[in-house]
Amino acid sequence: MSELRYSFASRVSNLIPSPLREQAKHVQTADDYIKLTYGYPSNQAFPIEKLAKLSDKIYRQHAVEFMQYGETEGIPKLREQLKSRLHQYQNLDVVSNDILITSGSTQGMDLVFKIFVNEGDTVLTEEQTFIGAVNAIKSYGGHAQGLPFDMTSGCIDTEALEATLSADTAHRIKLLYLIPTFQNPIGTSMSLEKRQEVYDICQKHQVMIYEDDPYGDLLYSDIESIPKIKSLDTTGIVIYAGSFSKILAPGSRLGYLLAPKAVFDKLVLVKQVADSFANLYWQYLASQLIDDYDFNEHIAYLRQLYKVKADAMVGALRKYATKDMTFVVPDGGYFISVKLNDDIDSNAFYDALDQRHVGVIPGNVMSAAGQGYERYFRLNFTLPSVEEIETGIQRIAQAAAVAKVKQ
């Protein structure tokens, strides 16, 4: 059969498969392979017994509802529960904003970029950022432009933000995409002052902010939790995105957007086109979980579980790996970002790591530019056991030692 040349649309011609998804498909077969790679929750994090009971209950009480077609916005009960939680715990305005339940927060960003990004538009991001967002921006012909990031303040360079927005006289910059709390891949959080500064700059230039917050509940240190950028939003420029993936189960594919009413209306339209509505079974299940159990207690359990692992990783890095690399101690979330010292050959390091059967995410993969961050790599501490963490970091230290450039 002669090979057919498909005439794909230009919006997909510059997309490459997410290396994260591709690697996830490729099973690492070695028994001693240690995955510090993906942003997966621990297998101990799922409240399986509770969900099994609740599943039985919702089958008896709501089977017909969740097997039927449903509302695009999401089931009313879950939307109300989320609004109530966001208002009570985060002081978010749930009157001039509305909630759309999405198929994971991945769909949330897709829908938002779909309604704002024209071919040739720009979305600003942190220079190292979530690859899923970069790909979603590109899929609408947009350009993801990373802004310099200061590891100490956990914030993009606000002078660069101001200068970039001032220079954009053609108004091609549509959004600023940020992960302000327990950033992926860096792990840092923006201070309240920085959040206000960023909000004020975007407000002045009338540029929307997408606040991506899948990790916000997972605080491990005793610092006070920092208000969301959305809580500062008096003018309707911030879209807040939450997810059940990191705090319940990624298999639920449940996320949500809290957006100003006019934006919400457009999101509902494109959600109808995309998939009509998010999975109803999981919407009922999550809603029943919040009703019948104390969801805050579940989050408290996750914090305990993950704090032990985060501490183990920080401890192991301090014990084995300070000679050849530096790292940022996170206050929460799923990740620690590490930077190799200048005298380490990064290619040799990743090869040596591969030979030692440890998976990490190299910085270039999680960046807007896709290059220039090879000295950085991201480590996940939620999926591996404490023992795997210890061994994994030991192997990372060995790989760095063999990759040292001879003086």
Footprint of ligand PLP (CB under 6 A): 39, 104-106, 130, 132, 179, 184, 212, 214, 243, 245, 250, 255
Closer residue to ligand PLP, CB minimum distance, 46 or 345: 46
Minimum CB separation from ligand PLP for residue 255, in Å?
A: 4
Three-class DSSP category at 98: strand
Minimum CB separation from ligand PLP for residue 67, in Å?
A: 24
User: Is-contact 5 19, C-beta < 8 A?
Assistant: no
Any idea what DSSP says for residue 228? P
Minimum CB separation from ligand PLP for residue 39, in Å?
A: 4
Rounded to the nearest 5°, which phi and psi values hold at 318?
Answer: -65, -35
Minimum CB separation from ligand PLP for residue 246, in Å?
A: 7
User: Is-contact 302 45, C-beta < 8 A?
Assistant: yes
Closer residue to ligand PLP, CB minimum distance, 39 or 154: 39
Rounded CA-CA distance 407/401 in Å is 13
Closer residue to ligand PLP, CB minimum distance, 254 or 316: 254
Task: Tell how strand 34-35 and strand 358-359 pair up.
Answer: parallel
Rounded CA-CA distance 272/275 in Å is 6
Closer residue to ligand PLP, CB minimum distance, 242 or 392: 242
Q: How far is CA 112 from CA 76, 86, 372, in A?
A: 21, 20, 28
Identity of the amino acid at 107:
Q
Closer residue to ligand PLP, CB minimum distance, 51 or 248: 248
Minimum CB separation from ligand PLP for residue 212, in Å?
A: 5
Q: Token pair of 197, please?
A: 């500064």
Q: Token pair of 318, please?
A: 């301090």
Closer residue to ligand PLP, CB minimum distance, 254 or 399: 254
Minimum CB separation from ligand PLP for residue 196, in Å?
A: 22
Closer residue to ligand PLP, CB minimum distance, 228 or 356: 228
User: Is-contact 367 128, C-beta < 8 A?
Assistant: yes
Minimum CB separation from ligand PLP for residue 156, in Å?
A: 15
Residues 333-348, buried b or exposed e (16+ Cβ, 10 A)? bbbbbbbbeeebbbee
